[in-house]
Amino acid sequence: MPATKGKTIIEVTVVGKDRQGVVADITGFIFKNRGNIEKISQNVVRGLFGMQLEASFLDVNRAALDAGLKELAKDLSMEIKVHYQEPNRLQNAAIFVSKEPHCLTRILKAKKTGEIKGNIAVIIGSDSTLKPVADDAGIPFHAVVHADQVEAENKILQLIEQYNVDLIVLARYMRILTPNFVWRYPNRIINIHPSLLPAFPGAYAYVQAYERGAKIVGCTAHFVTEDLDQGPIVCQESFKVSKADTLESIKKKGQELEATTLLEAVRLYLENRLEVYWGKVHVLDVKNQTDPSSRQSS
């Protein structure tokens, strides 16, 4: 739905033990504060309630809104988080990494040369391997190395809130995010997968392609959902495999393609040119581009 320029969009995430009246309490609070609900989705899994709500405000008192939602969270015994999308603010991206630098370095180069809009607010690693790359770029780096995934994701959630992150980029991040994390950020997490999905999902995609004698190998940038490697596809690129190619040469070509394909997906997102509906990504023409608040949810 087109949005009026000047609106402030907020995303509210609610998590907690399922109980009656939560939706009514949250939506009632939004209406009371003169907000208009743009989108809402909810789910209950094994007694755990989750809801994402997007609301627009022509004039918002952030201090009052934050205080009111904090009090409501206390009354409901639930976790309520708020993310603001101001129309005139550059979006903030967080890049998640592990050990492979090719995607990270390509994005950082693009930022330095002005190929992409937005800020690289923080880099989060599953270990400290790529900290020197972040340090050279002058970007904060946090290694989240907790063995327990719940503890790791709780720390990451704190960082995402601290840096007011709009987009999460998985630049060959080799830890699987749980559904509890992923559904908090619908169509806000982009991953790069080393195959032309839906072929060869999961780990070792290049090995699978090589062993199966694939004639065309590629990669896929996609939004992340609770179903591993099944999210809406943003970009795909490929190359032909020659008789002279080895597994190592395929990996090298694939990594170069991963970097450019992920960058293209990030660029389109930061230019507010991606809409997702009915589980499919639609890329807006520049002339038909709308503001950030018009981005759709599947």
Active site residue 291: no
Counting residues of the chain whose pLDDT is more than 90, the rounded percentage is 54
Domain presence at residue 281:
yes
As for how many domains the chain has, the answer is 2
Take residue 237 and report the two structure tokens written for it.
């690129």
Query: Residues 237-262: what's their mean pLDDT?
Result: 92
pLDDT band at residue 115 under the 50/70/90 scheme: very high
Q: State which of 62, 85, 108 marks the end of a domain.
A: 85
Instruction: Read off φ and ψ for residue 172, nearest 5 degrees.
Output: 65, 45
DSSP 209: H
The model's pLDDT over 271-297, given as tens digits with 9 standing for 90+, comes to 989 988 888 899 998 765 544 444 444
Q: Indicate whether 160 pLDDT > 60.
A: yes
State residue 240's pLDDT score: 93
Domain presence at residue 3:
no
Q: State which of 85, 117, 139 marks the end of a domain.
A: 85
State residue 101's pLDDT score: 97
**CATH code, domain with 57:** 3.30.70.260
Q: Indicate whether 210 pLDDT > 90.
A: no
Q: Indicate whether 242 pLDDT > 80.
A: yes
Give yes or no: residues 131 and 279 share one domain.
Answer: yes
Domain presence at residue 180:
yes
Buried b (16+ CB within 10 A) or exposed e, 94-111: bbbbbebbbbbbbbbebb
Query: Residues 130-138: what's their mean pLDDT?
Result: 97
Give yes or no: residues 97 and 38 share one domain.
Answer: no
The residues with which 123 forms a beta bridge, in sequence order, are 95, 141
State residue 153's pLDDT score: 94
Give yes or no: residues 53 and 189 share one domain.
Answer: no
Give yes or no: residues 179 and 233 share one domain.
Answer: yes
Give yes or no: residues 129 and 259 share one domain.
Answer: yes
DSSP 219-278: EEEEE--SSTT-SPEEEEEEEEPPTT--HHHHHHHHHHHHHHHHHHHHHHHHTT-EEEET
Q: Indicate whether 50 pLDDT > 70.
A: yes
Query: Residues 90-119: what's their mean pLDDT?
Result: 96
Active-site option among 18, 25, 66, 229: 229
The model's pLDDT over 55-102, given as tens digits with 9 standing for 90+, comes to 999 888 889 999 999 999 999 999 898 888 776 788 999 999 999 999
Give the integer Cα–Cα distance in Å for 67 and 191.
34
Q: State which of 23, 55, 85 marks the end of a domain.
A: 85
Take residue 33 and report the two structure tokens written for it.
């504060």
Give yes or no: residues 228 and 252 share one domain.
Answer: yes
Give the integer Cα–Cα distance in Å for 128 and 134.
10
Give yes or no: residues 22 and 145 share one domain.
Answer: no
Domain presence at residue 1:
no
Query: Domain span at residue 101?
Result: 92-294
What contacts 255, CB < 8 A, 6 or more positions away? 100, 102, 194
Closest CA to 196 of 256, 242, 261, 243: 261
Q: At what angle do helices 102-113 and 247-270 cross, to 10 degrees?
A: 40
Give yes or no: residues 71 and 105 share one domain.
Answer: no
pLDDT band at residue 4 under the 50/70/90 scheme: very low
Determine contact, residues 116/263, Cβ cutoff 8 Å: yes
Give yes or no: residues 277 and 228 share one domain.
Answer: yes
Give yes or no: residues 145 and 17 share one domain.
Answer: no
Domain presence at residue 106:
yes
Take residue 157 and report the two structure tokens written for it.
């959630």
pLDDT band at residue 29 under the 50/70/90 scheme: very high
Take residue 151 and report the two structure tokens written for it.
């503890």
Cα–Cα distance list, 28 to 18, 21, 24, 37, 82 (Å): 18, 10, 6, 10, 16
DSSP 60: -
SS3 state of residue 61:
coil
Give yes or no: residues 54 and 186 share one domain.
Answer: no
**CATH code, domain with 169:** 3.40.50.170
Query: Residues 158-163: what's their mean pLDDT?
Result: 93
Give the integer Cα–Cα distance in Å for 261 and 138.
24
Mean pLDDT of the chain: 88
Domain presence at residue 263:
yes
Give yes or no: residues 139 and 255 share one domain.
Answer: yes
Domain presence at residue 102:
yes
